[in-house]
Amino acid sequence: MAIHSTAVIHPSAKIAEGVDIAPYAIIEENVTIGKGTTIGAHAVIGKWTELGENNQIFQMTSIGAPPQDLKYKGEECWTRIGNGNIIREFATIHRGTVTGHAETVVGNNNMMMAYSHVAHDCRIGNGVVMANVATLAGHVTIQDNVILGGLVAIHQFVTIGAYSMLGGGTLVGLDIPPYMIATSGGKREAALRGLNLIGLKRRGFSELAINNLKKAYKTLFMAGMKQVDAIVKIRAEIPPCEEVDNLVNFIEKSERGICRG
């Protein structure tokens, strides 16, 4: 363990063996840092933060700061980050609020590039990539293995489905179903552009699963049918398929509504 003499660490912080803390980093009270994690110069880890193992926190990062929510009055709320994450320069992750989940949660093996922002009460899964200046408003859910391009902006309470990809500069106000590509294009807000076929193949999805998703996509978004009728048709005509079930269940449970083409 190497902790620079200029680092400021609250006595209540729990620092595991093998943690490196660079010059002028600040670790506030009630912080836990797991083994193998590195904290860069001038990074600030706010109170009520849990950092797991083998995370790379780069210089000037801010994790666990109070939320940008005028209703927040300093209540005990948490930021919980898993293992193996890479959080680059000037990225910001805010703690939760009592009017939300009282915690902001980031899973494992995610990469958050420079200037990306995760607001209060967000929930991020595993294997997510947020490119430079990608921004999440409060209460956003990002499922596993999502890629957010640079300058993506996501409205509060939106859910981004697993294995989807959002092109750079996309503005998102509605839920993005899993397995999709969405971009803003000539519109102001996001529109679906089809399945994330390259991403699915790279992730090892079977040809059968991809073909079933293609059929479901055409029925949902290209056949001119009402959503409820399209779902009935999919369940009647496509054999049982985990990926199609995930897609249909996501759409049925959406509270904000689904982004379309």
The DSSP call for residue 177 is: P
Q: Are 195 and 181 in contact (CB under 8 A)?
A: yes
Identified catalytic residue from 40, 46, 82, 138: 138
Question: In whole angstroms, what is the distance from residue 10 CA to residue 2 CA?
Answer: 16
The question of whether 121 is a catalytic residue gets the answer yes
Question: In whole angstroms, what is the distance from residue 122 CA to residue 129 CA?
Answer: 15
Task: Report the chain's terminal Cα–Cα distance, integer Å.
Answer: 52
Identified catalytic residue from 42, 94, 117, 120: 120
Q: How many CB atoms lie within 10 A of CB 252?
A: 11
In a 13 Å sphere around the CA of 213, the CA atoms on its Cβ side amount to 22
Q: Are 25 and 43 in contact (CB under 8 A)?
A: yes
Phi, psi of 245, deg, nearest 5: -60, -45
Q: Which residue type sits at 238?
A: I
Question: In whole angstroms, what is the distance from residue 210 CA to residue 205 CA?
Answer: 7
Instruction: Name 44's Cβ contacts closer than 8 Å, sequence gap at least 6.
Output: 25, 26, 28, 61, 62, 63, 65
Identified catalytic residue from 121, 139, 149, 199: 121
Active site amino acids:
120-121, 138
